[in-house]
Amino acid sequence: MSEQKAFSTNSSYEALTDRFRRASLIGDALGILDWDQATTMPEGSAEGRAEQIATLSVMRHELLVDSSVGENLLAAQEAFQDADAESWDAANLREMQRSYAYAAAVPGDLVEAAARANAVCEIKWRGARAANDFASLVPALQTVIDRVGDIAQARSEAFELDPYDALLDEFEAGTRVNQLDPLFGALARDLPGFVEEVLAHQASKPAPVLPDGPFPVAIQRALATKLMDALGFDFGAGRLDISHHPFCGGAAGDVRITTRYSEEDFTESLMGVLHETGHALYEAGLPELWRYQPVGKALGMAIHESQSLLIEMQVSRSRPFLEFAMPHMQAAFGADGTAWEVENFYRLYTRVERGFIRVDADEVTYPLHVVLRYRLERALLFGDLPLGDLPGAWNDGMRDLLGIAPPDDRLGCLQDVHWPSGAFGYFPTYTLGAMAAAQLYGAAQRDLPNLAEDISAGQLSPLIGWLRTHVHGQGSFCSAEELLTAATGEPLNPQVFLDHLRHRYLGDA
């Protein structure tokens, strides 16, 4: 790929880079406000925070849709016609044009209304989830759905896309329903039977033993930070905190991740931390020269999710990583015995079970959780499912796909923050990301023949270096298909993921 260099000296382009830099910095401020809202903000501050977020969202929007932006884009495009089409400046201009088009498609008053609705609803979701009270969330969530629907319609008309395609495109450019429907249809058809195969295979082997707690939160955090440090997380430019729902956020150069702890079982929280660390490493590894420009941003959420799932599912649940991590676990909790052997933890971390909670799901059942949400969010947005009927539809879908139904809404339709925060069209990227993760890790194993030995010795830098070169450092220079092809030799191939599942869960890999 093209060598990075300083910005072009074209005056129209320089004006654009300055404007997009300011918009990016406002986005960073919004990221810190979102983090604060999820971690330390008093609940009584919710109304004021909603106004802050709405105001800054409008300011950012106005920066991007100013009439001078369109004029400068045309002038810069003309000036760039004879320039290197493969340059980072050319790629940055392309991403500017995309950002401008998406911003201009949505009126400013709708941007403000949606941002305010999302902020209000996310706070209400926390209380509703804690109280297992879906009804209390319905009015706020319906407002969010209405505003998301308005945005989808506006973009649909501007780009001549299906409204749901217009939402998908925000999170993963170029993804379309006509691609997802056959893919997710095949997963819904084939995975339940595969789950049965895996469960029968597991039953023929010794069941893993869950170590006895309690596991104090302070010790869990210390263990997590030790493993984060081994992966290369920079605590001089990042944090680990507690929230209702694990996430990675913050700002450029200030990457903040969160988790939630259980003193009865530290294994789930630890994997949650390592998952979010994968996101954080991606953010920290984006090209610094282009930090505040569109081309320097992460390349869509499928690639973002591939980085978290590569670290969590492909690496951290592997035998080599557990060989490295086990002495640290034993030392942290002063434990030993059969439950604290590598093989037991490998069986724990590759245990397939039908469960209610998506973020705790294994990689075999996880895609079915995504299929459910994909179906339901489309139905909610386009009038096929009244919001009041969501709990029943959720439970029916869980029975159909996973053979279980949650006993309450807290373990059902109230578990995720995505819909209350307005993130419709996001869920499919989790499964696309899992597929990309398997493909990228396979390529890394091919290119780094000593990778397993390095990981078992706690040497994670060769893998992170490979990711820095092939994924992180590429920013949004090219499309996801081009990135995967350059890194792995082919565009996204779902069969690689399915082969990985069969090898790990039926082949005793």
The set of catalytic residues is 276
Total Cβ atoms within 10 A of residue 288: 13
The Cα–Cα gap between 372 and 472 comes to 30
The Cα–Cα gap between 301 and 279 comes to 10
Biggest alpha carbon–alpha carbon distance for the chain: 70
Q: CB of 284 within 8 A of CB of 365?
A: no
Give the position of tokens 């999820």.
38
Q: CB of 425 within 8 A of CB of 171?
A: yes
- Could you tell me which residues are beta bridge partners of residue 254? 251
The full DSSP string for 447-505 is H-TTHHHHHHTT--HHHHHHHHHHTGGGTTSS-HHHHHHHHHSSS--HHHHHHHHHHHH
The Cα–Cα gap between 125 and 94 comes to 37
Distance, CA of 387 to chain centre: 25
Q: Which two tokens stand for residue 272?
A: 């949650």
The Cα–Cα gap between 497 and 432 comes to 10
Q: Which two tokens stand for residue 152?
A: 């989808």
